[in-house]
Amino acid sequence: MAPTSTIVDTQKRVAAHLVGREREIELTLAAVAANRDILLEGPPGTSKTTILKAITEEWGIPLLFVEGNADLTPAKLVGHHNPARVLREDYSSDNFVAGPLIEAMQRGGFLYIEEFNRAPEDTLNTLLTAMADRAIAVPRVGTIVATPTFRVVASMNPYDNVGTTRLSTSVHDRLNRLTIGYQDEPAERGIVTLRTQADGDLANHLVIDAVSVTRATRRHPDVRQGSSVRGAIDCVLVALQLALLRHLTSPLDDAYRELVYDAMTVTLSGRIHLDEAAESSPERVLREIWEDHFILEPAIAEPG
Ligand SMILES: Nc1ncnc2c1ncn2[C@@H]1O[C@H](COP(=O)(O)OP(=O)(O)OP(=O)(O)O)[C@@H](O)[C@H]1O
Ligand SMILES: [Mg+2]
């Protein structure tokens, strides 16, 4: 096992890449440092990729992305023989084109399977075998043994129920799991400030308002899944460009609120998913949120 100072140093350096998330970094790092694979379960935009990027960067190893969907067959994950070369040369390990699983095993990287629960069952089984054995037998190539830093990290959205495989108890029993939720309001303001490089009175007001209305999309009764912090980031960036187009320079300008609403419709309407039973539209929901924010509770719009 690595000396404790090493993992503590890594934790500190990883934390420097992110706003908050100390607990998630600590638990994820503990799992992967223990040579274990892990499933990160949380809605979109909750730092899953950011944490894994930071850890793999610190470890100096590759992070290979795979999207779990019905097309992700075991052959896509493992790899295939180049058909033209097979015709000329017959099968050999030379003309084998490694898929992401083999590449991650050979290079000692993290194989990151997003939307894990959308992958077909035979693909999950291939993966579970590779995870258990840390080796895989590839026909006509031989047995590939994983480099020690190889890990499988899976992610899934707990609200996702379209085209998903219900993970069996035997799959769950082979995985460690960490649930990740949305961050609190100050942390989301910090993220949006960092990602938009917001600076100045107008931008600072936009960060506060964009984060507040984005968070409100997650609480609205007609909404099944609201927007992640990505919506707030885009809202600020789009609003800043709108402000240039409309020659608006101050949050005290009479046209400021309408500008925020316009930026909200562009950046948030596609990111909120209404309940099937709701007789509303994303635009109507956003108008309600906007009215609550600016008209019913204007105090919360004031910067602290
Ligand atoms: N804690 C954080 N610190 C800094 N930036 C963050 C943090 N969390 C999220 N972000 C930013 O928010 C965006 C979304 O985060 P990320 O890609 O990590 O989400 P995710 O959980 O992987 O989402 P998905 O499930 O949709 O892939 C990125 O632009 C990222 O930079
Ligand atoms: Mg991601």
Distance 231 CA to ligand 2 centre (A): 14
C-alpha–C-alpha distance, residues 162 and 117, integer Å: 10
Atom of ligand 1 nearest to the CA of 46: 21
Enclosing H/E stretch for 174: none
C-alpha–C-alpha distance, residues 14 and 158, integer Å: 25
Distance 296 CA to ligand 1 centre (A): 31
Is there a contact between 110 and 52 (Cβ–Cβ < 8 Å)?
A: yes
Q: What are the pLDDT digits (tens) for 241-259?
A: 999 999 999 999 999 999 9
Q: What are the pLDDT digits (tens) for 78-105?
A: 999 888 888 888 877 878 899 999 999 9
Q: The whole model's pTM is what?
A: 0.90
Under DSSP, the state recorded for 293 is I
Residues near 220 by beta carbon (within 8 Å), at least 6 away in sequence: 226, 272, 285, 288, 289
Best CATH choice for the domain 4-179 from the list 3.65.10.10, 3.40.50.300, 3.90.105.10, 1.20.1530.20: 3.40.50.300
Atom of ligand 1 nearest to the CA of 114: 27
Average of per-residue pLDDT across 29-39 = 95
Distance 223 CA to ligand 1 centre (A): 21
What protein residues have CB closer than 5 angstroms to ion ligand 2? 49
CA distances from 182 to 43, 103, 233, 267 (A): 8, 32, 15, 19
Strands 135-138 and 79-81: unpaired
Q: Which of 21, 40, 49, 180 to mutate to test the pocket of ligand 1 (most atoms within 8 A of CB)?
A: 49
Pocket around ligand 1 at a 6 A CB cut-off: 18-21, 44-50, 114, 155, 191, 194-195, 229-230
Distance 52 CA to ligand 2 centre (A): 9
C-alpha–C-alpha distance, residues 12 and 30, integer Å: 13
Q: What is the mean pLDDT of the chain?
A: 91
Distance 44 CA to ligand 2 centre (A): 7
Is there a contact between 225 and 273 (Cβ–Cβ < 8 Å)?
A: yes
Q: What are the pLDDT digits (tens) for 137-172?
A: 998 889 999 999 999 999 998 877 665 666 778 778
Measured from the alpha carbon of residue 45, the closest ligand is 1
C-alpha–C-alpha distance, residues 287 and 293, integer Å: 10
Average of per-residue pLDDT across 203-221 = 97
Residues near 124 by beta carbon (within 8 Å), at least 6 away in sequence: 116, 165, 167, 171
Structure tokens at 267: 């950046």
Is there a contact between 79 and 137 (Cβ–Cβ < 8 Å)?
A: no
Atom of ligand 1 nearest to the CA of 183: 1
Distance 47 CA to ligand 2 centre (A): 7
pLDDT reading at 3 higher than 80: no
**AA letter at 120:** P
Structure tokens at 54: 């930071």
pLDDT the model gives residue 226: 96
Structure tokens at 81: 């023989």
Q: What are the pLDDT digits (tens) for 115-133?
A: 988 999 899 999 999 999 9
Three-class secondary structure of residue 185 per DSSP: helix
Please report how the helices 48-59 and 4-15 are oriented relative to each other, as an axis angle in degrees rounded to 10: 130
